[in-house]
C-alpha cells in the first residue's frame, strides 16, 4: 500500500486531474467514458489514491450503466458508505475506507445474493492484472 497523502497539495501531485476530481472532490466521470467500464479481463481493482484492494473481477458485471459495476467489495471493510443527498436524491456514497476517497455509489438493484450494485468511477480505480 502507498503512503496516504495528508494534505491537498500531496493529493494534487499524486493524482491526475480526473482522479483528483473524483476521489477528492466527489466528482463523477461521464457514463461510458472511463477506461474500465467495459473491461472483462481478470484482475484486482485497487484504489487509485492509496492502492488498497477494493474489488475483484469475479464480482464485476455489466450493468449497462456505463460505469464499472460490482456485486460486492473484495472485503466489506475496504469501503464505507455515507448518505449522499446531492442532486435532489438520496443515495449511498461509497468511499475507500483507507484514504476516504470518493469511489461512486451503491444501489439496491444488483444481481448478486445481496442485490447490490456498486457503481464505481473508473478514475477511482487501478487494476492489477491476474
Residue positions annotated with a catalytic role: 119
What burial class does residue 40 get, using C-beta atoms within 10 Å of its C-beta: 0-12 exposed, 13-18 middle, 19+ buried? exposed
Number of other residues whose CB lies within 10 A of the CB of residue 77: 9
CA distance 106 to 116: 7
CA distances from 101 to 13, 37, 60, 63, 114 (A): 15, 19, 20, 23, 24
How is residue 68 written as a grid cell? 464499472
Q: Are 92 and 85 in contact (CB under 8 A)?
A: no
Amino acid at each position: 500500500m502507498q503512503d496516504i497523502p495528508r494534505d491537498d497539495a500531496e493529493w494534487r501531485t499524486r493524482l491526475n486531474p480526473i482522479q483528483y476530481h473524483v476521489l477528492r472532490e466527489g466528482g463523477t466521470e461521464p457514463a461510458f467514458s472511463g477506461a474500465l467500464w467495459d473491461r472483462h479481463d481478470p484482475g484486482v481493482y485497487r484504489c487509485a489514491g492509496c492502492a488498497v484492494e477494493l474489488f475483484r473481477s469475479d464480482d464485476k458485471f455489466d450493468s449497462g450503466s456505463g460505469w464499472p459495476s460490482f456485486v460486492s467489495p473484495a472485503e466489506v471493510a475496504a469501503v464505507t458508505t455515507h448518505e449522499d443527498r446531492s442532486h435532489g436524491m438520496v443515495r449511498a456514497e461509497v468511499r475507500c475506507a483507507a484514504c476516504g476517497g470518493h469511489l461512486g455509489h451503491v444501489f439496491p438493484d444488483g444481481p448478486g445474493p445481496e442485490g447490490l450494485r456498486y457503481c464505481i468511477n473508473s478514475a477511482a480505480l487501478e487494476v492489477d492484472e491476474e
